[in-house]
Amino acid sequence: MTYAIESINNQSDLLSGVELGYEIRNACDDEDIILWTMMTMTTSVGKYEYTETCPNQTRTNTGAVIGIVGPDRSTSSIIAAKAGRVVTVPIVSHYATSDELSDFERFPFFFRTVPPDKFQVKVIVDILQHFNWKYIALFYSLNSYGIHGARQIIRLAEMYDICIAINLPVASPASEREIADIAQRLSEHDKVTVIVSFTQWGGALAVLEAARKLKASRTLTFIGSDAWNPTYFQLQAFADVLVGGIFIQFHTELPDAFKEYYSELPKKQQQATNYSFRFDENGEVHGSYQVNNWQIKNGAYDLINVGKWDSHQETHLNLEENEIQWRIRDGKVPISLCNEECKPGYIEVPLEKKCCWGCQKCNDYAIVANENNAPVCQDCPVTEWPNDDFKACVPIQPSFISYSNPVFILSIAGAGLGLILTALAAAGLCYYSEHSLIKASSIELCCINLIGLGFSASPSL
């Protein structure tokens, strides 16, 4: 900020005759102190009463501030933006991304130099679409940043047929009971292999703790929002868990002049900014993000840029897939689906578990047809039979048995033997017709039985 202000003061064609100054305050990330700071800097009222919770606040009331840069977090910026509206002082945040702050009627004096979360959500959903990850878990922080981000993800997920099997807020810090609950949810949904974490570091830590409790054979791929990024945290205990993870980060370009300025700070050398920056009509900027992949190379962990997402480009998402390192051993793209791969002749049927599908076999004489964009079993006509892949019915071709076929020979031999035995039985019945045992039985019934046996054997001949 110092560099920017001094660069502006050194330009004769910008704010000619006006010299900007600045005053830096520490709000200690406390919402009450942020509100007090806003009021004292803009109205010269209020007494500082936060010496114990936020010391080293030595500045007195000024009332001469015409604009405020900061704070960084969305929740803090909402408070500052409300106060800015009351005192008609513009607020410019460099890191508040919540979509709640996009309401220009509520926050007419709020501006930011980062894109709102609606773009970041599109980055995440585009990545899910790109790798066909249709069955995911979503964890989000219990604040404006996490709640609005999760709401946008849920909305887009419904549009693109992405099932959110687990949708859970995460406290920061989380209790052991909450961590155990997350682990239990992940254990119950064993088909979930992709976790979207729209949280800050405290919430992300809880999800990582829960993931560590799962079986070693379970491979999870994390997609992390911009609020938590492995380069900024002590991740020695979780670095191996995060291998293969994809993390979203703002795409920024640092002016070369600033590098020279920063290296020459002791000499107070001033450099000129060929760096342009523009707000749109709502005080926001377009979305441009880096897509980074957490990898291990030569025994060391590092965050490698593998792509970019830009709202101004026709193809928003551009990935270098060959540069991505996945956590699974074979290097293939992880699969995050909850459905069985059905063989020919089977259709998908819903299971009791949310968004999960199993396979059900059709009848042998049925094919798999498409009805209202859904697979169904459809019986073939009497004279037709399913083809090899059970996708079409084909006419049944008559077939004949050769005289030399062993089955034919055995059938004829059996039928002939049956007729011979039937004839012997009939001859015996006639020969002993006067026998008392024959007379005691029903001669008519015996004749009918012998005739039936003869007819049953004769078709084979």
User: Using DSSP, how many helices (H) and how many strands (E) does the chain show?
Assistant: 11, 17
Confidence of residue 274 (pLDDT cuts 50, 70, 90): very low
Computed over every residue of the chain, the mean pLDDT equals 82
Task: Write b or e for each residue in 141-165: b if 16 or more Cβ atoms lie within 10 A of its Cβ, otherwise e.
Answer: bebbbbbbbbebbeebbeeeebbbb
Task: Provide, rounded to the nearest whole percent, the portion of the chain with pLDDT above 90.
Answer: 19
- Arithmetic mean of pLDDT, 104-115: 87
Tell me, what amino acid is at 92?
V
> What per-residue confidence (pLDDT) applies to 201?
77
> What per-residue confidence (pLDDT) applies to 63?
60
Q: How many CB atoms lie within 10 A of CB 347?
A: 19
The SS3 assignment for 385 reads: strand
- At the topology level, CATH places domain 117-276+283-323 in Rossmann fold (3.40.50)
Give the residue among 97, 122, 124, 150 at the shortest CA–CA distance from 246: 124
- Residue carrying the six token digits 């773009």: 119
Tokens of 52: 């114990």
CA distance 17 to 20: 10
Write the pLDDT tens digit of every residue in 149-181.
999 999 999 999 999 999 999 987 888 888 888
> What per-residue confidence (pLDDT) applies to 270?
39
Contact criterion met (CB below 8 Å) for 198 and 153:
yes
The SS3 assignment for 198 reads: strand
Whether 138 has a pLDDT exceeding 50, the answer reads: yes
Tokens of 94: 């460099």
Look at 430 and 197; give whichever has higher pLDDT. Answer: 197
Q: How many CB atoms lie within 10 A of CB 7?
A: 19
Whether 268 has a pLDDT exceeding 50, the answer reads: no
Contacts of 365 (CB under 8 A, 6+ apart): 379, 380, 385, 386
Domain boundaries, the chain: 2-112, 117-276+283-323, 346-395, 406-460
Contact criterion met (CB below 8 Å) for 295 and 325:
yes
Contact criterion met (CB below 8 Å) for 262 and 91:
no
- CATH code matching the domain that covers 2-112, chosen among 3.40.50.2300, 3.40.50.720, 3.30.70.1350, 3.30.365.10: 3.40.50.2300
- Residue carrying the six token digits 């039928």: 415
Q: How many CB atoms lie within 10 A of CB 268?
A: 8
Confidence of residue 242 (pLDDT cuts 50, 70, 90): confident
Contacts of 280 (CB under 8 A, 6+ apart): 286
Whether 393 has a pLDDT exceeding 90, the answer reads: yes
Q: How many CB atoms lie within 10 A of CB 232?
A: 9
| Topology alike, domains 2-112 and 117-276+283-323 | yes
CA distance 389 to 396: 16
- Arithmetic mean of pLDDT, 13-17: 79
Whether 85 has a pLDDT exceeding 80, the answer reads: yes
For residue 277, CA distances in Å to 111, 167, 179, 280, 452 come to 13, 37, 42, 10, 101
- Arithmetic mean of pLDDT, 69-86: 85
Task: Provide, rounded to the nearest whole percent, the portion of the chain with pLDDT above 70.
Answer: 86
- β-partners of residue 135 are 163
For residue 313, CA distances in Å to 286, 288, 317 come to 11, 10, 8
CB-neighbour burial class of residue 245 (10 A; exposed 0-12, middle 13-18, buried 19+): buried
